[in-house]
Amino acid sequence: MSLTKAIFLLSLFAVFLTPRETEAQATIKDEWSKLSKCTQVAIETFSNLANKVVPTVYELMKCSRFVSLDPPIGKRRKVTWYLKVVYEFFKRIVFDEPKCLHDLLNKIAKEIKPYAEQIGGLGCLDDDDFII
């Protein structure tokens, strides 16, 4: 068996045999203080969302059918070109295809909901906890 076939088969096994994500919740220990528990939940929430940024942008591009324009032939990509592409992308999502943005916000809400329940259960945002 050639090396490329072996790598391909091992990749397939890795994809199919990896444990699937179940319900998202932060791992907290009972002996931790309230502040450390709340910090752990916040860190896991942000890291979970950060891991899904690139696939989410790709899904938004597919949903909105956005195609970026290439810079003129022989020219380098300048900051203004990047700004124009980002502006056109968000204009397309917000004005032309708002359903894509609505679906994105629903996905984010479903992703954050278990963490929000943990934060509410821990009482991280209670008024009496503020230092001021």
pLDDT value of residue 44 = 86
Domain ranges of the chain: 29-122
Q: Kindly report each contact of residues 48-57 with a partner whose C-beta sits within 8 Å and lies 24 or more positions away, as own/partner.
A: 48/24, 48/111, 48/115, 49/108, 49/111, 49/112, 52/111, 56/104, 56/107
The pLDDT value recorded for residue 63 is 84
Please write the tens of the pLDDT for every residue from 75-122.
Answer: 777 888 888 888 988 888 888 888 888 888 888 888 888 888 888 888
Q: Which region among 4-13, 15-24, 81-90, 121-130 has the lowest average model confidence (pLDDT)?
A: 15-24
In which band, very low, low, confident or very high, does the pLDDT at 9 lie, cut at 50, 70 and 90?
A: low
Which tens digits make up the pLDDT trace of 37-70?
888 888 888 888 888 777 887 888 888 888 877 7
Answer for the pair 91, 2: CB distance below 8 angstroms, yes or no: no
Tell me, what's the pLDDT at 132? 45
pTM score of the predicted model:
0.55
pLDDT 10s digits, 17-38: 554 444 455 566 677 777 788 8
**The predicted structure's pLDDT at residue 66:** 82
Which tokens in the block code for residue 115? Answer: 């963490």
Taking the C-alpha atoms of residue 35 and residue 125, their distance in angstroms, rounded to an integer, is 10
